Structure 1
Amino acid sequence: MTTLKDLTPGVWTVDPSHSTVGFLARHLMVSKVRGSFTEFTADVKIGEQFEDSTVSATVQLASVSTGSEDRDGHLKSPDFFDVENNPTMTFTSTKVTPDTLEGDLTIKGVTKPVTFELEFDGVSADPWGGTRAGFEATTEINRKDFGLTWNVAVEGGGVLVSEKVKINLDIQLVKA
């Protein structure tokens, strides 16, 4: 089994075909709706000491995909992301440890600190002479903190869309 000590310091790139930027929100407070973004980039620099590593990522909000064209269209609208005026969501790390990834998340022009729980999945040589590493990261945000306030009250109490949204990253890096 590999450890963080097996990561070669330097620049790594995200392999988008083997990575997922996903989210989960509750609908009517009884079911979960999952979605993802299909277009994203990240600059990852692994430091000589892992704690010296940095991450800077950009997600194209228009690439949202939840399995429903109507819902995706609503998420892109001014009610939620307002992609015409706010095309990207960004993250810039402020602290990296073996267990956490802290940084500033910006959605719809609002920047807030977030902490991801970080899990290292390993490092491996690939068949093409390269080196790959895997990470998972999860956090939960309150969407209202980022100006995503649209909602509808439902009969009997509750709302159509939960305020809390889980963000799940499954990332494969390639040594540049």
Structure 2
Amino acid sequence: MGIFSRKNDTTVAVATPVAGPGLGHLTGGYTIDTTHSQIGFAVRHAMVTNVRGEFTEYEGKLHLDGDQPANSSADLVIKVASIDTNQAQRDEHLRTGDFFAADTYPEIRFRSTSAERVGDESYRLTGDLTIKDTTRQVVLDLDFTGHATDVYGAERVGFEGSATVDRTAWGLTYNAALETGGVLIGEKVKLSFDISAVKAA
């Protein structure tokens, strides 16, 4: 299946590379398990509802420091062409130059620049998000959801959270006016992540 693989199980929420109190034993490198994770988004449509979607092909690495969360980091690469909103015609439009221009800019990248603990198991991750060769800073609010050793003996950690961004900051400006007033597509996009990551052997 290569580096990128389509996920089979989904839930909506965020990955964070920071650990909670007393989790020093979790310090180390982790790989995101794409079969048990989801990277999703939601955007207002026609002023009345939300269209939801996800990216199904991506890879990510985390470095966790359970004792010093500020030393943690995350690196994520998403294949733009894997966008899926459960409507094929819309997905094809999103891949065109009106939106992501997937043929020219095939990847979305996120690289963290800082991490901080803001609650017992809550964290804030700041990083650079690059879309269409434009890089802007984003801030993710995150929760550590637990750790366990699975039936195969792999040590896993979980994180969830979200961030809200303005798509026009990355040149995603396409829109259409509605006859009743307003526009077809909202500018604010809620990003959501639900991540299961496996510790490197």
TM > 0.5 between the two?
yes
**Within-5 A mapping of 1:70-149:** 70-98=89-117, 99-149=123-173
Structure 1 residue 8, shift from structure 2 partner: 1.3
Q: SS at 1:5's partner residue?
A: coil
- 1:64 correspondence with 2:74: no
Name the counterpart of 2:41: 23
The CA distance in 1 between the partners of 2:192 and 2:31, in whole Å, is: 18
Provide, for residues 69-118 of structure 1, a one-character-per-residue CA deviation record: whole Å limited to 9, x for no partner. 00000000000000010001000101112311110001111100000111
Amino acid aligned to 1:112? R
Structure 1 residue 137, shift from structure 2 partner: 2.1
Provide, for residues 124-143 of structure 1, a one-character-per-residue CA deviation record: whole Å limited to 9, x for no partner. 11111111111012000100
**Given the superposition, is the C-alpha separation of residues 4 and 23 from structure 1 closer, same or farther in structure 2, using an over 3 Å criterion?**
farther
Q: SS at 1:74's partner residue?
A: helix
Amino acid aligned to 1:167? L
Q: SS at 1:17's partner residue?
A: helix
Name the counterpart of 1:175: 199
The CA distance in 2 between the partners of 1:4 and 1:136, in whole Å, is: 17
Provide, for residues 43-80 of structure 1, a one-character-per-residue CA deviation record: whole Å limited to 9, x for no partner. 11112512100101000000000000000000000000
Detail structure 1 runs of 4+ shifted over 4 Å in the superposition: none
The CA distance in 2 between the partners of 1:4 and 1:173, in whole Å, is: 18
Could you tell me the percent identity over the aligned residues?
A: 41
Name the counterpart of 2:183: 159
- 1:33 correspondence with 2:57: no
What's the TM-score, normalizing by structure 2? 0.84
Structure 1: which 5+ residue stretches go unaligned? none
In the alignment of these two chains, the number of paired residues is 175
Structure with the largest fraction of strand: 1
Structure 2: which 5+ residue stretches go unaligned? 1-18, 118-122
Q: What RMSD over aligned residues (CA atoms) do the two structures have, in Å? A: 1.3
